[in-house]
């Protein structure tokens, strides 16, 4: 992949301050992207970093950084939800997750994540599996409406699904511009200026990449991998992600009820908290950062620290 696409790490200073890298520490950048957080971690202290990304383009572009920081940087291709498997037997001092789509993915029209430039309707971070075009053309109307409503929070999801099904009856939808035009006919432009296609595109991307499933698996994996006093730092970009992160941290810090899936409530003792929440409210980017990088405007950072308690295995999300 060409190096022309750049990525500005969101809340870089805040993330590194929260992660607090120390000499000899071992850290996981679970969403490597173009390596902004990884580079900062490696420069802050003499640490080791294992960086993970399922996008082969990110892995390819990161090889120069691997050579630059050898032997302190290891780069692994794979889903961050499987980091406990990818790092089997290891314990780490910190994990950072920068959720969503990286700027290189978003800006490259050939990846099909954005409606701002015409490209194939793809959206696959790993470049494998069913594409967004497959979902749009092969999913029945009711299921399509449900996923657009659930993952995109689009209140006109049924109307969007109906317009899509009517359009695909005459021609397969294969381009981002095709889909965006169909959605714009179904959804009136709002006063806030947000493109009518935004929420539906978000829903398709999340579905294609199983982003919510990956996030839940990653949070569970982090609980297993972190040493006592190890930090988990998560930057999210929409309410669905932030809600999952918030509830995970609160529940595992004993701030929300933890109920076993298998035992009657009166037969169980609440487990010791496996995390301490360090951010009572999520941290947001500064006004100056939003001006410099508008994509940061919706970002929220939450931080928790691992305790010495066992993992809260078997308790409901």
For the chain, which residues make up each domain, given as ranges? 12-104+211-306, 127-208
pLDDT digits (tens, 9 = 90+) for 19-70: 999 999 999 999 999 999 999 999 999 999 999 999 999 999 999 999 999 9
Mean pLDDT across 144-168: 97
Can you give the pLDDT at residue 16?
A: 98
User: What's the pLDDT tens digit per position in 78-125?
Assistant: 999 999 999 988 999 999 999 977 767 777 888 888 888 899 999 998
Please indicate whether the domains covering 12-104+211-306 and 127-208 agree at the CATH topology level. no
- The fold for domain 12-104+211-306 equals Rossmann fold (3.40.50)
CA distance readout (Å), 239 to 33, 161, 243:
22, 22, 6
Cα 208 from Cα 199, distance rounded (Å): 14
Q: What is the DSSP string of 142-208?
A: HHHHHHHHHHH--TTHHHHHHHHHHHHTTS---BHHHHHHHHHHHSPPPTT---TTHHHHHHHHHHH
Render pLDDT for 191-233 as a digit per residue (tens, 0 to 9): 877 899 999 999 999 999 999 999 999 999 999 999 999 999 9
Across 3-7, 135-139, 227-231, least confident range: 3-7
Pick the CATH number of 127-208 from 1.10.3720.10, 1.10.150.170, 2.60.40.10, 3.40.50.720: 1.10.150.170
What does the alpha-carbon distance between residue 297 and residue 286 come to, in Å, rounded to a whole number? 9
State the pLDDT confidence band at 7, using cuts at 50, 70 and 90: low
pLDDT on residue 62: 96
Round to whole Å and give the CA distance between 79 and 73: 18
Whole-angstrom distance, CA of residue 193 vs CA of residue 132: 25
């Amino acid at each position: 992949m060409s190096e022309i696409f750049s990525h500005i790490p969101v809340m870089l200073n805040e993330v590194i301050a929260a992660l607090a890298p120390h000499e000899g520490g071992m850290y996981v950048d679970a969403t490597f992207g173009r390596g902004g957080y990884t580079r900062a971690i490696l420069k802050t202290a003499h640490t080791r970093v294992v960086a993970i990304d399922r996008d082969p383009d990110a892995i390819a572009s990161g090889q120069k950084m691997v050579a630059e920081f050898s032997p302190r940087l290891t780069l692994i291709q794979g889903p961050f939800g499987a980091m406990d498997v990818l790092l089997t037997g290891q314990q780490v001092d910190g994990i950072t997750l920068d959720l969503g789509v990286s700027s290189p993915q978003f800006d490259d029209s050939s990846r099909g994540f954005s409606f701002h430039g015409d490209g194939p309707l793809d959206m696959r971070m790993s470049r494998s599996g069913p594409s967004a075009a497959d979902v749009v053309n092969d999913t029945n109307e009711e299921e399509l409406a449900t996923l657009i409503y659930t993952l995109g929070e689009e209140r006109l999801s049924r109307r969007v699904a109906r317009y899509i099904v009517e359009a695909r009856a005459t021609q397969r939808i294969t381009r981002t511009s095709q889909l965006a035009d169909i959605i714009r006919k179904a959804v009136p432009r709002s006063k806030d200026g947000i493109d009518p296609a935004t929420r539906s595109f978000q829903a398709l991307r999340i579905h294609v990449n199983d982003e919510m499933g990956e996030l839940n698996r990653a949070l569970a994996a982090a609980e297993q991998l972190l040493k006592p006093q190890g930090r988990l730092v998560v930057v999210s970009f929409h309410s669905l992600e932030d809600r999952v992160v918030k509830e995970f941290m609160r529940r595992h810090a004993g701030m929300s009820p933890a109920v076993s899936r298998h035992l009657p409530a009166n037969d169980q003792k609440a487990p010791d908290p496996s995390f301490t929440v360090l951010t009572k409210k999520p941290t947001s980017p500064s006004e100056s950062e939003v001006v410099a990088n508008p994509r940061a405007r919706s970002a929220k950072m939450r931080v928790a620290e691992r305790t010495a308690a066992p993992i809260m295995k078997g308790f409901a999300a």
